[in-house]
Every structure is written in C-alpha cells, then in structure tokens.
Structure 1
Amino acid sequence: MSRTLEHLTVVELAGPRTEWCGKLFSQAGARVVLVEPPGGAETRRYGPWFQGRRDGESSLHFWHYNTDKESAVLDLTAGDGREAFLRLLGEADVLLDGSEAGGLEGLGLTREAIGEANDRLVHVALTPFGQEGPMASWLGSDLVHQALGGQMMMNGYDDMPESPPVNGQGNQAGHMAGSWAFIAALAALQAGKGSFIDLSVHDASAGMTENALPQFDYTGKVVTRRTGRHASVAPTPAWQHRAADGRYINAQLVNVSPRAWEGLVSWLDEHGMAEDLTDPKYFVPEIFREEADHISDVIGKFVATKTADEIFHGAQARALIFSAILNPEDLLDDPHLAARDFWIELDHGEPEGMLRYAGSAFVAQNSEVRPRRRAPRLDEHGDAVRGGGADG
C-alpha cells in the first residue's frame, strides 16, 4: 500500500518545537531526516524512561515523537557539518527549523545560502515568538506559551476559587504549533516554489483559545474557568459524577435535544429516580438553564447507582452526550480502538523486542498512515546522510 507523502523528503533540525510536525510527515510516508547536534537531540534527555534506564536511547518521549525518522549527527558549528547540511537540503522538499530566531544565520546558514542550495525548499521556522516583533528574541517553553497564549487562564477549578490556573500536560503548545506548521508546509508545497514560513508558537497558542478571544473582542466579556468543563462566560453546572464502580462519568448538559431529554427522563423514571424532571416545564429552554444545577444533581444521584459502562452505554443509546472518563489502562483495552487497529507494535530489536505504540488518528483509503519503524538511535543513518545517500 502506498504512503501518502512518500514522495517528500523533510529535513528536521531536532528539537522540541519541530518533532510533532516531523512525526506528522514521517507517519504519512515522507522521508524525515532528523539532524541532531553532537551529543544528540535535547528531547533524548526527556523522561519518562523505558524500564527506568536514564540514557539517550531510552526516552519514551523521544521514542513517541520520532518514529520512522532517520538520525544523522551534523555539527553545524563546523564547516564540514554545514556543507553536509546544505547538501542534504539540496535534495529536500521541506526544512523544519526549530532554532532560535536568527540561529542559523549566526552560523552562516543564511536564507540566501539555503536558497542557493535549493530554491524550491519550503523553510518552516518555528520560534517562540516569531522572527520579528518586540519579543522575537525572547525564550519560550510549553509552560510559557500556555500562560501567555491564554490556555492557562481558561483551565482550572471554579469550585476552588483560590486555586491557581492549570497548564495542560503533554507539550500542548508544541502540538498546536506543529500542526499549523504541517498545514502551512503542505499549502506552500502546492505552489511548487520555495517559501519561508515564519511560525510563532505564541501566535499559534493565542489563536487556539476557542471562544475566549471572540467573546472578549465582540462582547467585552471574559470567560472563566470551569472544573472539568469548557471555560465560559455564563456559569455551567458541574457534570462530572462518580459511578458505583468508582469511575467517573462526564454527563454533559449542553445541546440536549427534546428526544434525548425524553430518553433521559424515561430512563431515570424507570428506576424511580426522575424526581420532578418529568414535569413538561423542563422543555422550556430558559427553565432548563435556570434549573441546570438541580438537573445535574438528579443525574448525579442516578449515576452513583450504576457502573460507568452502564451509564455510558445507556446514555449513548438515548442520544445523550455522556461519556466514561477513561484512564490509560482503559484505553489499552478499549474495544473500539482495537476494532480500528489503533494500537500497533514496532520492533526495537534486542533487548526490548516488540513494543506497543499508538497508531494513527485516522484511516486513509488506499494509503497507509501510521508509524512503521521505531525512533532512530543516535546517528543511526549518519554515514549514509553525510555521504549524500538515502538510508530508509
């Protein structure tokens, strides 16, 4: 089966800002050459670690983000390293550049030099705050970008008013910027000529605050944090409830259609737990909103009498937007993911053997879009890359 982007070669300067975009290219079939500095990529030193082995070949973070890539060590501070890098760019379609603003120029790898090596190259520069502007030289991190971009303002607890905002885990800013970089690169490739894309992680984060920016821009109102729910201007009822088996249910009370409401009330009434929700007044949207806390309390009492799976499946059968809150162990055994062949195994060789990985979020007709090979060991493909050949 063909691979969607197998006709492309991508050069990725190793770093936390480029690796998600590089992974999107590599799992879609592009040849991605990870250019690492002497000593290896910074993210080889990120935990957690496989079986507690704290070394550059055992980072689970690095393994996840760098499947299917090739690794070549090039010292860009040295003349021969820069020459090898420019030769590599000569056969590439995309450069993913995660150096600081002006970083490559300071090494003599100017845009002009890169353009002379390949005038068709799409050069995507991912920097904390862009190439220009009053903050262009500032440093950033996932925590910094979630704070300055607005995500942290929206995440936290409304039932703990003195608690601080919460940052989402898992390289959120890198995912936002990396996804935009992937889209921008694919769009530029359609033009068939070279392009320089100045991508600010801060800009990407600020543009991903859902309705917070338009709410303030158009109405002057500020959204506030809601425990386990979307930030909003108006209060919303708590809708996480603990089931009889100790697991939690997310019982969302938005966009409840009349049909779904009838199904919910009938379900509660079958068990003698509907209380006053059988009253037709709850079909009136204004009353429904006014009584949302009471409705949520009634649902919570019902949820406490059944297992999370009973609530989840029963609610979905009645067109209700309810879900069980799954932990990682649950996901590994999820029958839906299994039916879609989401989990895959990659061969790490000795001594690790075959290890389970997350596959792709989508299935493409007549094309394979999923990881096929483990992340590379440091400089695993270096000889071939420095010699000007492909090693895939």
Structure 2
Amino acid sequence: MTDPTQSDSTGRQAAAQLLREQIDKIYQSDPPNQPATETTAPSSQPEADDRPAHDPNALRYANQNDLWRHYHSAWQSYYQQYYHRYYLNQLHQQRRRLVGRGALAAAPAISLERDVQNQDNPSLGIITGEQATKQVHDEIVRKVKQRAKTLRRSHHFMPIATALAVGLLFLFVQYNRLLFAQVKTYVSPGSASAQSIILDPTVNTKVGPEPRMIIPKINVDAPVVYGVKSLKESDVQLALRDGIVHYPYPGADSLPGQVGNSVFLGHTSNDVFDPGKYKFVFVLMERLQVGDTIYVNYQGTRYTYLVNKKEVVNPNEINKLVVKTNKPLITLVGCVPVGTANQRLLIFAEQVSPDPAGAKPAPVEPPASSQPTTIPGNSPTFLERLFGGGR
C-alpha cells in the first residue's frame, strides 16, 4: 500500500522541478536587442525572422524573447511605482508635520490624486523654509486678530477693561507724587542764576526787597512767605503754594538776622493736581551736606548760612525745632523719603554773614493757645481726603 505522505512529497518535488526548468529557460536565453560583441563568432544559424515559419526553433526563440521582455517590463513598472509611492508618502508625511505646527493650516490641502496627476513636476506641493515661516506668521496674526475681535465682542471685556482703567487711575491719583518726585530728582527744580549768588560768604551784600532763598547746591531760587496766619495745617499748606514758608513755631520763631532758630518749610514732593508752582522745591534737599551754603534775602539784606548738621526725625518730634543757642540759625524742613511724608529731614545751618555778633535778639511773644503736635508735611493724599484722614 502506497504511503500518502510520500506521494504528496513526490508531487511537490515534481512541481518545484518544473518551476526551476521554466526559470532556467528564461535566464538561458539572451536579452533582446543586445548587440553582438567583437569576440563572439558570427553565428551561422539564421535569424529568427529568416527562419521558415514551420521551424519549431524559431517559435521557441520568439516565445522566449516575449517572455523576457514581459518579465523585464514588469520589474521596471514595479520599481517605478514603488519609488513613486515612496516619495509621495514622504511628501505627505512632511506636509502633515507642517500642518501640525500650523504652517499650512490656512492653505488648502493638496490631495494624493493631484500629486499623482502632476508627477512630472516633483516640486509641486513642497514649500521652502521661507514660505513655511511666512505661513506661520500669517496664521499667528490671523488668530490673534480673530481672538482680539472675539474678546472685544465678549460681554466680559467691557467690565474688565473698565475695572482695569479705574484701578490704574486710582493708582495714579494716589501715588503720582511718588512717580513725579523720582523724575524730578533728575531734573533741576529751580532756576538759580549764577549772577545772583555771591562767592564769598563773608561779604555783606545788599539785595532787593523781595524775600527769597537761594541754595546753589540743589539749584533752588524761590520766594519765601512770611507772616502765615496760623500754624494750622490747612493754613500752612495754603502758604506753601507760593514758595518756601517761614514757620514761626514757639521757641523757634526767629527771623533772619536774629538770635535763635528760624524754621523754613518746603515741599520735597506733592500731588501734581494741587495748585502752586513749588510742589518740588526741596526735592533734592537730601543732597545737602555739612559745609554747603544757603542764602536768605530778607528786608534788602542777604544772609549767608553754612550747613553744620543733618537729622531725620518723625513727624511728631516737633520739639526738635527748638534749639537753645546764642547764634542766629536757620532750619530747613522737608519730607523724606521723597514722594512720601513718612519722616522729616532737618537741615541746620549757622549764619556767617553778616557778622553774627551783631545779630539782634528775637522778640519774646506769648505762647499760642494751641500749638501743633506734628511737623507739617505734604498735602493729604487721595485716600486721606476721601476718608477724612487729611492732616
């Protein structure tokens, strides 16, 4: 009895052998249209076209040529389509990456069929780096404009914008003095004339009747207001609009040329919306040092003083203004840090001209019924005025 497994194996071997013979026949024949080499002897056998039609070798030769031509064409077509589709696939992958980054989001997509139809132009659909950058820029601008337009139409935009505008306005109104004071520290606050300043402080010089104070170091040349009605904060603030104010605090109420202390107030900073031209007259006051010169014109005489002391005190330390001395002195008072009214800077200076030995004694006046407890400073801020906290 025959083994079925052996019979099946024999059949596969026969089929494989037949396939080998067919392949050998293909490769044993020469490729068509190949010229003969010089070393090849001319064949005495006639060409296939010259053979009689009934010759069986001619028919076999023609079949082999057709088979080889068909085989060669099939492989050529295969490789051509393979590489064509490979490069198209790379092109579309690159395009998808650009679309993912937004480079081609606004451009119409080019289909695979269009690429196939235009395969004679390999550059179709391929963009340069400059084009991609421009497309990204245009797309970003488009999206920003679109979102800004949407935001403006949003019902949340106007309340937010209004709240922001009100907040910025409040900050400016409340803290404008701080902002402008910092700017003023880099800008000359006065217009002191070199011709009106004497170089020798020991020389007694006659001047005009207008009361003024001149401080060359910080470029101050401003009028001085004497005779304030009272020491109330409101009256002092009103007088400070017109210049530097002589502050006749009891025990420090001397006038220039008299023994004792003469106190002068000036703004280092103030609200820009307040009236007056001297809101920053003492803005550079902190630059004064021991030895600097101060001139005070009073009743036609120029009094010259040299700085001999600086001190920072709290607003409630008003007793610091009273100095026991047998010499004529002046004290300048301003708020520090610049732009605030947290503390007071006191600049003490001693008279050197005219001769202090000839100074007159200060008049003795009865103390006022009510005396201030703090040294005047800047005008009230917006919040202080709004909530009744003005000084």
Question: TM-score range, shorter-chain basis?
Answer: under 0.3
TM-score (norm 2): 0.19
Q: Relative CO higher for 1 or 2, CA cutoff 8 Å, sep ≥ 6?
A: 1
